[in-house]
Amino acid sequence: MATFLLEVGTEELPASFVSDALHQWQARIPAELAELALAPEAVRFYGTPRRLAVMLDGLPLRQIDRTEDVKGPPAQAAFKDGQPTKAAQGFAKSRGVDVSALEVRDTDKGSFVFVTQTIPGRAATDILTELIPQWIGGLEGKRFMRWGDGDLRFPRPIRWLVTLMDGEVLPLTIENGSLVCVSDRISQGHRVLHPAPVTLRRAQDYVEALRQAYVEIDPTARRLLIQRQVEETAKQLGGVPMISASLLDEVTNLVEWPNAVVGKFDPEFLELPPEVAIIEMESHQRYFPLKQSADGLALMPMFITISNGDPSKDAIIAEGNARVIRARLSDGKFFYDADRAQPLDAFVAKLETVTFEERLGSMTAKVQRIGAIADHLCDQLNLAAQPRQHIRRAAYLCKADLVTQMVGEFPELQGIMGQKYALHSGEPEAVATALAEHYLPKGAQDSLPQTLVGQVVGIADRLDTLVGIFSTGQLPTGSSDPFALRRAANAVLNIIWAAALPLNLARLLDTVVQDFAQDPALTVDAPDSLRNQLYDFFLQRVQTLLQDELGIDYDLVNAVIGERALADPLDVKDRALFLQAMRRSGRMEKVYETVNRATRLAAQGTLETQVLDPEGVIDPAALEAKAELAFFAALQTLLPQTQAAQASRNYDQLVAGLEQVAPVVSGFFDGPDSVLVMAEDPAVRQNRLNLLGLLRNHALVLGDFGAIVKG
338-351 pLDDT per residue, tens: 999 999 999 999 99
Do the Cβ atoms of 454 and 438 come closer than 8 Å? yes
SS3 606: coil
User: Average pLDDT of 668-684?
Assistant: 84
Cα(446)–Cα(149) distance, integer angstroms? 48
Checking if the pLDDT of 652 tops 80, the result is: yes
380-436 pLDDT per residue, tens: 999 999 999 999 999 999 999 999 999 999 999 999 999 999 999 999 999 999 999
Q: Smallest Cα–Cα separation from 705: which of 547, 544, 591?
A: 591
499 HSE (CA, 13 A, CB side): 22
Q: What is the pLDDT of residue 407?
A: 95
Task: For residue 298, count CB atoms less than 10 angstroms from its CB and return exposed for 0-12, middle for 13-18, buried for 19 or more.
Answer: exposed
> Per-residue confidence at 256, pLDDT binned at 50, 70, 90?
very high
Beta bridge partners of 154: 145
Q: What is the pTM of this model?
A: 0.81
> Per-residue confidence at 217, pLDDT binned at 50, 70, 90?
very high
Q: What percent of the chain has pLDDT over 70?
A: 100
Checking if the pLDDT of 683 tops 90, the result is: no
Q: At what angle do helices 485-499 and 452-471 cross, to 10 degrees?
A: 150
Checking if the pLDDT of 233 tops 90, the result is: yes
34-48 pLDDT per residue, tens: 988 899 999 999 999
Task: For residue 53, count CB atoms less than 10 angstroms from its CB and return exposed for 0-12, middle for 13-18, buried for 19 or more.
Answer: buried
Q: What percent of the chain has pLDDT over 90?
A: 68
Mean pLDDT of the chain: 92
553-582 pLDDT per residue, tens: 999 999 999 888 999 999 999 999 999 999
Checking if the pLDDT of 547 tops 70, the result is: yes
Q: What is the pLDDT of residue 395?
A: 97
> Per-residue confidence at 711, pLDDT binned at 50, 70, 90?
low
For 58: left if phi > 0, alpha if psi spans -120 to 50, otherwise beta; the answer is left
Tell me which DSSP letter residue 48 carries: E
Give the angle 189-190-191 at the CA atoms, nearest 5°.
110
Beta bridge partners of 158: 10
Alpha-carbon distances of 58 from 42, 127, 270, 435, rounded to whole Å: 7, 16, 56, 59
278-326 pLDDT per residue, tens: 999 998 889 999 999 988 889 999 999 999 989 999 999 999 999 999 9
Phi, psi of 420 (to 5 degrees): -60, -45
Q: What is the pLDDT of residue 307?
A: 94
> Per-residue confidence at 104, pLDDT binned at 50, 70, 90?
confident
587-597 pLDDT per residue, tens: 998 888 888 88
434-460 pLDDT per residue, tens: 999 999 998 878 899 999 999 999 999
61-94 pLDDT per residue, tens: 888 887 888 888 898 888 888 888 888 888 988 8
Q: Smallest Cα–Cα separation from 534: which of 617, 466, 602?
A: 466
Cα(543)–Cα(573) distance, integer angstroms? 10
260-273 pLDDT per residue, tens: 999 999 999 999 99
- What one-letter code names the amino acid at 108? D
Do the Cβ atoms of 607 and 685 come closer than 8 Å? no
